[in-house]
Amino acid sequence: MGDIIDITAPMQGTIVTVDIAVGQQVRKGQQLMLIESMKMHHAIESSTDGSIRVLHVQPGATVMEGAVVAAVEPGTVTIAELEEEQAEDPAHVRPDLAEVVARHDIGLDAARPDAVERRRKVGRRTARENVTDLLDEGSLVEYGPVVIAAQRRRRELADLIARTPADGMIGGLGTVNGRSVVAMSYDYTVLAGTQGTQNHSKKDRLFELAEDLRLPVVFFTEGGGGRPGDTDQSGVSGLDCLAFMYFAELSGLVPIVGINAGYCFAGNAAILGCCDVVIATADSNIGMGGPAMIEGGGLGVFDPHEIGPMEVQRANGVVDIAVPDEAAAVAAAKQYLGYFQGPLDDWSCADQRELRHVIPEDRKRGYDVHDVIQRLFDTGSVLELRRDFGLGMVTALARVEGRPVGVVANNPSHLAGAIDSDGSDKAARFLQLCDAFDIPVVTLVDTPGMMVGPEVEKTALVRHCSRLFVTGANLSVPVISIVLRKSYGLGAQAMMGGSTKAPLACVAWPTGEFGGMGLEGAVRLGYRNELAAIADPDERERTFQTMVDRMYEIGKAVNVASHFEIDDVIDPADTRRWIAAILTAAPPAPVRTGKKRPNIDTW
């Protein structure tokens, strides 16, 4: 027999139960009593085999930390070994967990067949299906899935749980292409995808998360705008809602992508319009006010399909990428995000010798600049933005040897490539996007200059065209300019950031031609009197053409390069080599803790 061993209280508290008596044999590790401290129960265990010699406390006694509560005399015991605790079955679901699982399951598509069927009838997927398709498998960590609409004052709790899961807003963290993003979707099966009180709070939370973690946001925006039926909030107007401010503050900080299918009105459309890129399906209707708001304003009664249909929103520039359906929209979003996630190791390209034959030898013959773009950049890497707006300008994201670049190209199929107001806005806004996220820019130049004439001046051309100068001259990303054919006047300079010496490289193809203005116009203006003095119209035309040909010889690329106004005239097949050399030589973009630009223009 050894010395008596004191058993002490591990903390200050109240004895709740005493499970032993004097003389009772105990095993090491056996619970002797329970002590309650700060509403928590803790076991007091024996530190040795033996028998209870002294018991100092009874239930209800308050003790201090270290107080002696019992004494054990060590020794051999004859009681059976303490039963080992049975290992918990990992598959066992306790009642508290079962309640949680049930609440989560209520919001899943499998538990809502009627809601799923409503989506099928209009040919669309559920919000959860879209988010699941966007994110890498199993990567979603959802925020607020058991939230319900703030309508407890007017509806039964069970009804809200069943009919307003997640308050119509599914969102959380996940990965796309293995990189973290914030994914969000209004749920049109819940109160028509409207923006409720808790719905706004979830947006606030996720937008702050995107800011703190510097994560891109992908937002599915289908829905009817603000919700007037919530009852559980204080306040009057709701104009102190923070979601729109928080989301707008993300502009220029992280890539933000909007995807829409179906109706998108009012507040939902405001969210969509703040995005860097708008991807919309063929059945989208997008407007700052839906039918109810229009009728309420005394402006008439309209079917929702009459408001902001795709044929309108594609042509006016609201939609950047038009797609047939939600699956294609998700695929486009994944591709778009990829350009902001860095280079790819695997790439291929067309036979670059094909570029030698894309530009016709006849300098007046038109061609499709898309043929140049598709051959020049990595195969399958070109994603064009705003294809149906500002037709004289092509803007696209692409890759060269796997590295992302922005592409701005004149389109000679529209106004011969002359730059108008819409084209200027389209290009300038795209340059802001590239600059904000450190994506180098390649410009493909083929323009007779700025568009001119009384009609185009009605579009505020002076201001719009100047956006190209102001934006281009202040880019900090590498810029490479390739002159495909015409490089005339202010339009050509605007395509190069203000000068042939502004880009890190400015080279021309053999078809390149340069001048302060179009050759024909320069001859007619500069030699007006001389031409007018020639009475015979045929001779006048022959003289005019001779002067044009002479000016072309002066302004053709080889001659301009000989004066070192450009860096070289190159074999078109060497274009990728020039671009890759600049991209390789450029220092890596700095790691940023904040914004490079205050924001990216929505227009």
What is the radius of gyration, based on Cα positions, of the chain? 36
What is residue 433's predicted lDDT score, i.e. its pLDDT?
Answer: 98
Output the DSSP codes for 184-237.
EEE-TTTGGG-B-HHHHHHHHHHHHHHHHHT--EEEE--B-SB-TT--S---SS
Is the Cβ–Cβ distance between 280 and 313 less than 8 Å? Answer: yes
CATH T-level fold of 96-339: 2-enoyl-CoA Hydratase; Chain A, domain 1 (3.90.226)
Whether 450 shows a pLDDT value over 90: the answer reads yes
Short-list 161, 173, 165, CA closest to 205: 173
Q: Compute the distance between CA of residue 109 and CA of residue 388 in angstroms, rounded to an integer.
A: 36
Which SS3 state, helix, strand or coil, does residue 401 take?
Answer: coil
Torsion angle, alpha carbons of 177, 180, 181, 184, to 10? 90
- Look at the domain 5-74 and name its fold: OB fold (Dihydrolipoamide Acetyltransferase, E2P) (2.40.50)
The residue among 440 and 519 whose pLDDT is bigger is: 440
Instruction: Using the structure block, give the residue that is written with the tokens 């994110």.
Output: 135
CA-nearest of 311, 309, 291, 312 to 301 is: 291
Q: Where are the domains of the chain?
A: 5-74, 96-339, 352-512+556-585, 519-555
Residue 116 pLDDT: 95
The pLDDT of residue 80: 67
| Type and span of the H or E element at 174 | strand 169-176
Query: Between vectors from CA 328 to CA 324 and to CA 331, what angle results, nearest 5°?
Result: 160
What whole-number distance in Å separates Cα of residue 199 and Cα of residue 385?
31
Tokens representing 437 are: 């996220």
Summarised one tens digit per residue, pLDDT across range 100-157 is: 999 999 999 999 999 999 999 999 999 999 999 999 999 999 999 999 988 888 889 8
The predicted structure's pLDDT at residue 84: 53
pLDDT band at 524 (very low <50, low <70, confident <90, very high): confident
Q: Quick check: 18 pLDDT over 90?
A: yes
- Which tokens hold the place of 174? 């996940």
Q: Report pLDDT digits (tens) over 75-116.
A: 988 876 655 555 678 888 889 999 999 999 999 999 999 999
How distant, in Å, are the alpha carbons of 71, 76, 77, 388, 550 from that of 3?
10, 13, 16, 93, 118
Q: Are strands 479-488 and 513-515 parallel, antiparallel or unpaired?
A: parallel
Angle at 95 between CA 91 and CA 101, to 5 degrees: 70
Contacts with 352 (C-beta within 8 Å, 6 or more apart), sequence order: 375, 376, 572, 573, 574, 575, 576
**pLDDT over 80 at 13, yes or no:** yes
**C-beta atoms surrounding 563 within 10 Å:** 8
Looking at domain 352-512+556-585, its CATH class is alpha beta
Alpha helices per DSSP H over 316-458: 326-339, 369-376, 421-436, 454-457
pLDDT tens, residue by residue, 345-382: 999 999 999 999 999 999 889 999 999 999 999 999 99
What is the number of H-type helices and E-type strands within the chain?
20, 25
Q: Do domains 5-74 and 96-339 have the same CATH topology?
A: no
Q: Which of 372-376, 494-498, 500-504, 542-546 has the lowest mean pLDDT?
A: 542-546
For the chain, what's the residue count?
Answer: 603
Cα end-to-end distance, the chain, whole Å = 89
Does residue 386 contact residue 318 with C-beta atoms inside 8 Å? Answer: no
DSSP category for residue 309: B
Q: Which two structure tokens, joined as six digits, stand for 223?
A: 């829905």
Please check whether residue 393 is in contact with residue 426, taking contact to mean a CB–CB distance below 8 angstroms: yes
Coil, strand or helix: which one is 525? helix
Handedness of CA 482, 488, 493, 499 (dihedral sign): positive
